[in-house]
Amino acid sequence: MLFASLSAKTPTSAIALTALTPSAFAKWAAKESEAVRNWFAANGFDGKSAGSSALIPSHDGHLSRVIVILSEPASLWDLAALPAKLPEGTYSLDGIKKQDDEEKLALGWLLGSHRFTLHKKGEEKTLTLCVSKKCPTQALTHMAETIAQTRDLISTPAEEMGPQELAAAVQERAKTYGAKVSVIVGDDLLKKNYPSIHAVGRASHRAPRLIDLTWGNPKHPLVTLVGKGVCFDTGGLDLKSGSGMYLMRKDMGGAAVALGVATMVMQRKLRVRLRLLISAVDNAINEKAFRPSDVVTMRGGLTVEIGNTDAEGRMILADALTEGASEKPDLLIDFATLGGARGIFGEAMASLFTKDDALARELMKAGEQTEDFIWRLPLHPSYAEKLKTPFADLNSCPPAPYGNAMIAAAFLEKFVEEAPRALHLDFIGWQAASKAGRPEGGEAMTLRAVLTFLEKRYA
């Protein structure tokens, strides 16, 4: 739920929301009345820290103006604390000179009003920010809504977000944008040759599935997105500890973000043919559970010895990547919460693996522009070396105390050899402590960066 909105029309009753850099604030405050300066001092407001704000009363005690301090350059999050702080009402943004800045701030304003309200009520107020006529309010609202939906999918408890519900979420989006969806469920995965998805998901009463969405003009270049959809990860027989398992409803974060990117690609009608492949499983335990040391013959024929049943994400991605790569798409991008990247970057940024230097530069640049940071890690042969085992072509998770993100990427690399350009994104997908605009819970990491990167390539 978003309780704030944008408007391109400014009613005369709107309260001015003036955004100033610290130096512009100092100049502005010097010209104000002594009463206003005293008010700032009494409230400990010095106008020096980005994102801080002051609410100025009128003579009769009503709110007459809001001051908010900007970063230099302006940040997406500068206005994001305001929706929680401001009283219900209509505000008009002023003080912004660059259109880019206005768009950024407006998106942050919307995200600052996102709450996950499935099982707990959010704020019951409505807020409107009036922006200039040039500001694309509708596109920004769609973006904020898609980010909110992505976060909500991740935050939804596993009981209410199993493989079937994840497929339903994809079908719902497909309906909105006229895309086609097919789903291969349970034992049909074996008939259709997706053995790894079946092996990981077969021990749950909630059947595993491959969700396959297609959209767009067949003449346009093909972009294939692949998402890891582990709806809950117990670790399987290599059972996780209690603390390690607590957040594992977020293990479908890759799938949620891939769906979010797909939604924005369709919403903005990029000139691509889109395919979205989501491997959806519940990594559970019963007598059918796959075991450490079992060998799975993958979709492409490679044999894989299960090193650890908790390294299930790379297994289910592998069959979907083999299918995706077989069409030789212009771009093949997978989104995953494999765990290795979390240990390196936490929630500050996502990791990227690709052989393509130019694409890596472009995607990292898009990450900078959108404050959705992505950092490249190596596909170095020394990590692939570790995948060797006497019992199969590859070990899914060799015993290695360090370098897990790189080892997982080296494993996935074996399944995308047919794709001319492949990118693997690994991230935590979770905000551990609330920050302005980013409440604790699921986080749509890489969504803004990848969309911007795709828009530049296929505008």
Q: How far apart are CA 334 and CA 412, in angstroms?
A: 10
Catalytic residue among 125, 192, 240, 268: 240
Q: Which is nearer to Zn ion, 70 or 338 (CB)?
A: 338
Strands (E), 378-429: 394-395, 422-426
3-state secondary structure of 164: helix
Residues 6+ apart with CB under 8 A from 363: 352, 374, 423, 449, 450, 453
User: What is the footprint of Zn ion within residues 385-404 (CB under 5 A)?
Assistant: none
Residues 6+ apart with CB under 8 A from 62: none
Q: How far apart are CA 223 and CA 359, in angstroms?
A: 14
Site string for Zn ion, 267-306 (x = CB under 5 A): ----------------------------------------
Q: How far apart are CA 367 and CA 301, in angstroms?
A: 36
Catalytic residue flag (residue 376): no
Catalytic residue among 115, 314, 386, 448: 314
Single-letter code of the amino acid located at 371: E
Kindly tell me the burial class for residue 377, based on how many C-beta atoms sit within 10 Å of its own C-beta (0-12, 13-18, 19 or more).
buried
Q: Which is nearer to Zn ion, 233 or 282 (CB)?
A: 233
User: What is the footprint of Zn ion within residues 360-389 (CB under 5 A)?
Assistant: none
Q: Which is nearer to Zn ion, 101 or 310 (CB)?
A: 310
Which residue's CB atom is positioned nearest to Zn ion?
310
> Under rule CB under 5 A, how many of the chain's residues touch Zn ion?
3
CB of 233 to Zn ion, least distance (A): 4
Q: Which is nearer to Zn ion, 282 or 312 (CB)?
A: 312
Residue 233 makes contact with Zn ion by CB under 5 A:
yes
Contact 259, 227 (CB under 8 A): yes
Which of the ranges 120-128, 138-146, 227-235, 300-308 carries the binding residues for Zn ion, by CB under 5 A? 227-235
Contact 195, 189 (CB under 8 A): yes
Which one of 212, 310, 372, 443 is in contact with Zn ion (CB under 5 A)?
310
Q: Which is nearer to Zn ion, 310 or 323 (CB)?
A: 310
Residues 6+ apart with CB under 8 A from 53: 66, 67, 68, 69, 81, 82, 85
User: What is the footprint of Zn ion within residues 60-89 (CB under 5 A)?
Assistant: none
Which of the ranges 19-27, 56-64, 171-179, 225-233 carries the binding residues for Zn ion, by CB under 5 A? 225-233
Q: How far apart are CA 357 and CA 336, in angstroms?
A: 21
CB burial readout 70-102, b (16+ within 10 A) else e: beeebbbbbbbbbbbebeeebbbbebbeeeebb
DSSP secondary structure string, 371-386? T--EEE----HHHHHT
Catalytic residue flag (residue 31): no
CB of 338 to Zn ion, least distance (A): 8
Q: Which is nearer to Zn ion, 284 or 444 (CB)?
A: 284
Which of the ranges 143-151, 312-320, 390-398, 433-441 carries the binding residues for Zn ion, by CB under 5 A? 312-320
CB of 253 to Zn ion, least distance (A): 12
Which of the ranges 147-155, 307-315, 411-419, 432-440 carries the binding residues for Zn ion, by CB under 5 A? 307-315
User: What is the footprint of Zn ion within residues 328-357 (CB under 5 A)?
Assistant: none
CB of 422 to Zn ion, least distance (A): 22
CB of 419 to Zn ion, least distance (A): 25
Token pair for 334:
């997978």
CB of 396 to Zn ion, least distance (A): 11
Q: How many CA atoms lie within 13 A of 115 on its CB side?
A: 15
Q: How far apart are CA 376 and CA 354, in angstroms?
A: 8
CB of 235 to Zn ion, least distance (A): 6
CB of 237 to Zn ion, least distance (A): 11
Which of the ranges 152-160, 199-207, 230-238, 404-412 carries the binding residues for Zn ion, by CB under 5 A? 230-238
Q: Which is nearer to Zn ion, 429 or 439 (CB)?
A: 429
Q: Which is nearer to Zn ion, 174 or 256 (CB)?
A: 256
Q: How far apart are CA 99 and CA 47, in angstroms?
A: 23
Q: Nearest-5° angle of CA 401, CA 403, CA 408?
A: 110
The residues assigned a catalytic role are 240, 314
Residues that bind Zn ion (CB under 5 A): 233, 310, 312
